[in-house]
Structure 1
Amino acid sequence: MMKGDLLIPSMLERAERFFPKKEVVSRTSSGIHRFTYKEIGKRTRKLADRLQQFGIQRGQKVGTLAWNHHRHLELYFAVPGIGAVVHTINIRLSPEHIIYIINHAEDEILFVDEDVFPLVEAVYDKLKTVKAVVVMTDNELPESKIESVFSYEEWIRDGSESFEFVKDIDETEPAGMCFTSATTGNPKGVVYTHRSTVLHSMSLSLADSAALSESDSVMAVVPMFHVNAWGIPYASTWMGSTQVMPGPRFTPDLLAGMIEKEQVTVTAGVPTIWLALLKELEENDYRTDSLRAVICGGSAAPAGMIQAFEEKYNVPFLHAYGMTETSPLATVSRLKSYQLDLPQEEKLAVRAKQGLLIPGLEMKVAGSGGEVAWNDEEMGELLLRGPWIADSYYKDDRTDETFIDGWLHTGDVCTVDEEGVIKIVDRTKDLIKSGGEWISSVDLENALMAHENVFEASVVSVPDPEWQERPVACVVLKDADKNTSKEEVLDFIRPTFAKWWLPDDVIFMEEIPKTSVGKFLKRALRDQVQEYYKQTK
């Protein structure tokens, strides 16, 4: 067989050649922009040329602090196109973590959105390796104390649109970098190669995965700084899909409007996004009949939300699982052909799980006595390996804690049913051990969020002198004026769980703290709960 390296620029080259008329619809602070893949290709080549003129060498890091738009997409291909590494930085992290990430990665140049520029300017004096900042804006450059600041459009003007991407790259060379959104300690860096990115993009295009294709209009709501928007911009470009990029500081009504106007067929984001969109759809009138899939990942999706999308709006809901270390796609929940005739309640129970392992990956679920039985009851930690699974952290001595004997230890506890379907029960650190028995906070949360007046729910443990730990539910109501009581909430889930699983208390809150990517921040929530009980004693 011929040897051919799997390289990221080849994906854009395919779009340029076979889908030059297809569009990238990009929202920025100044409005909607429309570019064909032919135009995106020319702009990306100009950008790659300018990066080389600036002196960016192979293996060096180019940082981005930006939302989802066409310029960010161009960086996705231009940077690997010269053999450098595109480092997407989470703009929602604390300034201290952003400083750490940029210095640890040793970024040479930063590309930032106009609304993020003040954050960069405030920490610039602490950045050790950055030589220049390019502001991605349609407006004039803001005044700045930073000497080397450029406007993106002016900066790429002198680049050549016929620039040839570097071809002598080995597929195992680094191409991208993301850092975990740390809840404790500093974030950990994960490096993606050309090969891992191309194979991951292929996995997104499989029929039993996200099935991305030329006929799709794809809107990644998950930020491009969050595990490369789950790889969707790469796969969509390769397949020639129309891309709809929602830009900065979007709102539920904006997303609903773009779905309707741009006839979006596939969209992807975390559960908090879909809870907010569902509320918008319930309150206002939008057409969503173009959607063939809402992809949900990042944390477990409530079964009630899945049911609402599928039964009320006839929108298929794809539950997926992954993490920064897995590029991120690892599992997708789809019914097998012979499960399509199951009763609706049984089908929903399957769809609410994290699903089947994606082809190309291997898994083990390790319990205290070895691999667990596939009986949907025994719990163990999920271990993964495969060609788009990381094997280490970037220059980090915590590698040995996570990557052991060739396996990624995810830290997620799960069960596996007889069909091989994974259900994430909890993070190892969030399981609640009461009287020697385990309680899944995720199961409780999903049940609570099925209540018609519960918008969000998160369950944490509190110390207990008799039982070691006991669960407490923290709840945000959709309508606080409805006078939903603690007893009503507990009565709602009582038929589902054993008595000892039921939370000892329900605390109503205005907001549940979240991480920078929209997951419940349980460490902060535990602190709030402890403070609440101190004040009420």
Structure 2
Amino acid sequence: MPKSGDIPACEGTGEARCTAPTKLIEHAPSAYSYPLLIKHLLHTPLRHAPDQEIVYRDRVRYDYRTFDRRIRRLAGALAGRGVRPGDTVGVLDWDSHRYLECYFAVPSMGAVLHMVNIRLSPEQVLYTINHAQDDVLLVHADFLPLIESIRDRIERVRTIVVMVDDYEVPATSLEVGGEYEALLAAAPEDYDFPDFDENTRATTFYTTGTTGLPKGVYFSHRQLVLHTLAGAAAFGASAEQGRLHRGDVYMPITPMFHVHAWGFPFIATMLGVKQVYPGRYAPETLLTLIETEKVTFSHCVPTLLHMLLTSPAGANTDLRAWKVVVGGSALPKGLARAAYDRGIDVFTGYGMSETCPLLTVAQLTPAMLDEPADQQVENRTQTGLPIPLVDLRVVDAEMNDVPRDGKSTGEVVVRSPWLTQGYFGDPAQSEALWQGGYLHTNDVGFIHPSGSLQITDRLKDVIKTGGEWISSLEIEDILSQHPGVGEVAVIGVPDDKWGERPLAIVVPKAGHEGSLTQGLLEAHLAAYADKGLISKWAVPDRIVFTTAIMRTSVGKTNKKALREFYAQQAGEGSGA
């Protein structure tokens, strides 16, 4: 029998399997248990770098002391508008100092920060605001027309705060509860962030990586603090290449509404580095900030890197001090080589919305830095090695590990302390996500003998273009409703600029073979985009007509064969 104060040590999945007794530590009556809360990330920068700068474009520049005062004022202003622990605050903004303030102020109150994806269609934005049960919205003036278009169907929001860059609130038919800067100016700067359980939900956002409605993922204070510590360890432990340290200047080029901007604002703040927030992305603005603010560390999707490298504004910009983590979709070797030739320290990071997101990083050892350029590019474009505290496996259908031989493929499954524990309000899909006690990424890959992961495919047929997901089945469903369409399949085909773009393969109905055209189907899809039901970006660039669609032996559409066939066609057409 265990002695008093002993507990069983349990491990496993689902029902805990107890193995041997363990002993809990004893607590002095006055001992402080130090919960892992986001507010505690501020201790270090306020001691190590209180004079360090946080910059927003060419408009705002202040130090970490001011940052601390502003987040306390923001919390006080929100409390004055009725925000209480457990409430949800939605934010629609470009990448700004305001967004960084929300990252800290809202969760540290005990409220939940909902990072609204401003790239979703109006109908999807409406769904996420209602599903997340937002109580307050902080809305940049640029997005007031969006909120105006859906306001009659917003269910719960009681207050809207407007954020502006020019200190003048534009005319709006919305009833607003104040302007951001005015509210901060009127609020006290001594708001005391309370202690609470570290497992309190801190953030929520929505992923559209599959068909159907967006799915909410959520993360606790404990998860975000551990993700921050592990990320800092991973990027700070590298001997030479791909390091993030206190001498760096950080600028995100991944939207702050997207997976916590990959967690780097939390890491950069904890380290006390100079931070530069660019607002709305424009190549000229980004390149100017890189040059004038001496930016040395960023992260982005391949499309944005390509855009910057090909921008005329960047032709004479010195990028040799710039380190860039590329993720969101595969980093093409041609793009990696182009960046490498410009002197950029480019390398891959991997994760997903459900994983907070950091899982692996393709950093190079000192020996690898001595290798020829082609081999360096090969190493930099691998999916990479797991960061600390990530248990990553590649498994077969029975959850058995496949050989780590650089060729045997399987599904990538993971465990770490910061993975979402489910989908908000969706127990069935939550359980499917965690089947077998590991989070299923739906990505297929293999592990090199060196231990480095390489993603080769995805299990689901969503299309990732420019870092954004498009549902192939959703586009198929809409096209199938056109009276001239008999059968349709939508696949992703390689695209040099965007990574992938959707291609529609259509079999016309009998009698429509000569009259059904790409223009008619584009107009059909555009009508849905105009209603806000799909993104305009989801409309395929190309529609091909055929007499039959490839199928498997059991009659299913063979999308793998279709992708291979049309990718080969594209290569032959380009002279590859």
TM-score, normalised with respect to structure 1: 0.79
Q: Write out aligned runs for 1:280-295 (5 A).
A: 280=311, 284-291=315-322, 293-295=323-325
The answer to whether 1:150 aligns with 2:149 is no
Residue 203 of structure 1 and its aligned partner are, at CA, apart by: 2.0
Return the alpha-carbon distance in structure 1 between the equivalents of residues 376 and 161 of structure 2: 49
Q: Write out aligned runs for 1:253-332 (5 A).
A: 253-280=284-311, 284-291=315-322, 293-310=323-340, 312-332=341-361
- Provide structure 1 residue ranges, at least 5 long, that are not aligned to the other structure: 433-440, 466-514, 516-520
Which of 86, 100, 107 is the equivalent residue of 2:113?
A: 86
Alignment CA distance shift 1:367-1:398 (3 Å): same
Deviations 1:222-271 (A, max 9, x none): 010001111111111111010010002x2112111110110001011111
Return the alpha-carbon distance in structure 2 between the equivalents of residues 458 and 38 of structure 1: 44
Return the alpha-carbon distance in structure 1 between the equivalents of residues 55 and 499 of structure 2: 35
Return the alpha-carbon distance in structure 2 between the equivalents of residues 365 and 282 of structure 1: 43
Alignment CA distance shift 1:524-1:125 (3 Å): closer
Return the alpha-carbon distance in structure 2 between the equivalents of residues 305 and 282 of structure 1: 18
Mapped contact 2:227–2:356 kept (Cα < 8 A) = yes
Alignment CA distance shift 1:272-1:528 (3 Å): closer
TM-score, normalised with respect to structure 2: 0.74
Identity of aligned residues (%): 36
Alignment CA distance shift 1:13-1:410 (3 Å): same
RMSD of aligned residue pairs (Cα, Å): 2.8
Alignment CA distance shift 1:393-1:377 (3 Å): same
Mapped contact 1:204–1:211 kept (Cα < 8 A) = no
Give the structure 2 partner of residue 497 of structure 1: none
Return the alpha-carbon distance in structure 2 between the equivalents of residues 325 and 44 of structure 1: 27
The answer to whether 1:426 aligns with 2:438 is no
Q: Write out aligned runs for 1:9-28 (5 A).
A: 9-27=39-57
Return the alpha-carbon distance in structure 1 between the equivalents of residues 380 and 352 of structure 2: 19
Which of 383, 398, 401 is the equivalent residue of 2:413?
A: 383
User: Secondary structure of the residue that 1:220 maps to in structure 2?
Assistant: coil
Mapped contact 2:113–2:204 kept (Cα < 8 A) = yes
Which of 82, 99, 102 is the equivalent residue of 1:75?
A: 102
Return the alpha-carbon distance in structure 2 between the equivalents of residues 333 and 47 of structure 1: 38
Specify the structure having the higher radius of gyration (Cα).
2
Give the structure 2 partner of residue 469 of structure 1: none
Residue 12 of structure 1 and its aligned partner are, at CA, apart by: 2.5
The answer to whether 1:407 aligns with 2:438 is yes
Mapped contact 1:212–1:235 kept (Cα < 8 A) = no
Return the alpha-carbon distance in structure 1 between the equivalents of residues 183 and 121 of structure 2: 29
Which of 320, 324, 333 is the equivalent residue of 2:362?
A: 333
Q: Write out aligned runs for 1:155-304 (5 A).
A: 155-166=183-194, 168-206=195-233, 207-208=236-237, 211-248=243-280, 250-280=281-311, 284-291=315-322, 293-304=323-334
1:64 partner amino acid? V
User: Secondary structure of the residue that 1:107 maps to in structure 2?
Assistant: coil
Return the alpha-carbon distance in structure 2 between the equivalents of residues 165 and 431 of structure 1: 42
Residue 202 of structure 1 and its aligned partner are, at CA, apart by: 1.4
Alignment CA distance shift 1:283-1:373 (3 Å): same
State the aligned residue count.
457
Alignment CA distance shift 1:342-1:105 (3 Å): same
User: Secondary structure of the residue that 2:225 maps to in structure 1?
Assistant: helix
Alignment CA distance shift 1:463-1:279 (3 Å): closer
Which of 82, 93, 116 is the equivalent residue of 2:143?
A: 116
Which of 417, 420, 437 is the equivalent residue of 2:448?
A: 417
Deviations 1:484-507 (A, max 9, x none): xxxxxxxxxxxxxxxxxxxxxxxx
Mapped contact 2:202–2:220 kept (Cα < 8 A) = yes
Mapped contact 2:126–2:153 kept (Cα < 8 A) = yes
Return the alpha-carbon distance in structure 1 between the equivalents of residues 39 and 51 of structure 2: 19
Return the alpha-carbon distance in structure 2 between the equivalents of residues 55 and 459 of structure 1: 45
User: Secondary structure of the residue that 1:258 maps to in structure 2?
Assistant: helix
Residue 184 of structure 1 and its aligned partner are, at CA, apart by: 1.6
Alignment CA distance shift 1:464-1:83 (3 Å): closer
Question: Which deviates more, 117-126 or 102-111?
Answer: 117-126
Return the alpha-carbon distance in structure 2 between the equivalents of residues 33 and 431 of structure 1: 39
Residue 283 of structure 1 and its aligned partner are, at CA, apart by: 6.2
The answer to whether 1:458 aligns with 2:511 is no
Return the alpha-carbon distance in structure 2 between the equivalents of residues 243 and 431 of structure 1: 34
User: Secondary structure of the residue that 1:150 maps to in structure 2?
Assistant: coil
Alignment CA distance shift 1:457-1:268 (3 Å): closer
Residue 146 of structure 1 and its aligned partner are, at CA, apart by: 2.3
Residue 115 of structure 1 and its aligned partner are, at CA, apart by: 0.6
Return the alpha-carbon distance in structure 1 between the equivalents of residues 60 and 139 of structure 2: 18
Mapped contact 1:322–1:329 kept (Cα < 8 A) = yes
1:145 partner amino acid? S
Alignment CA distance shift 1:349-1:49 (3 Å): same
Which of 54, 74, 87 is the equivalent residue of 1:60?
A: 87
- Provide structure 2 residue ranges, at least 5 long, that are not aligned to the other structure: 1-24, 26-31, 464-490, 508-528, 530-534, 550-576
Residue 377 of structure 1 and its aligned partner are, at CA, apart by: 1.0
Deviations 1:20-74 (A, max 9, x none): 21011102xxx42101111111111011112222221212110001111111111
Return the alpha-carbon distance in structure 2 between the equivalents of residues 7 and 64 of structure 1: 21
Mapped contact 1:208–1:334 kept (Cα < 8 A) = no
Alignment CA distance shift 1:11-1:281 (3 Å): farther
User: Secondary structure of the residue that 1:12 maps to in structure 2?
Assistant: helix
Return the alpha-carbon distance in structure 1 between the equivalents of residues 407 and 76 of structure 2: 56
Residue 124 of structure 1 and its aligned partner are, at CA, apart by: 1.4
2:390 partner amino acid? L
Mapped contact 2:209–2:462 kept (Cα < 8 A) = no
1:328 partner amino acid? P
Q: Write out aligned runs for 1:472-483 (5 A).
A: none
Residue 142 of structure 1 and its aligned partner are, at CA, apart by: 2.3
Mapped contact 2:302–2:498 kept (Cα < 8 A) = no
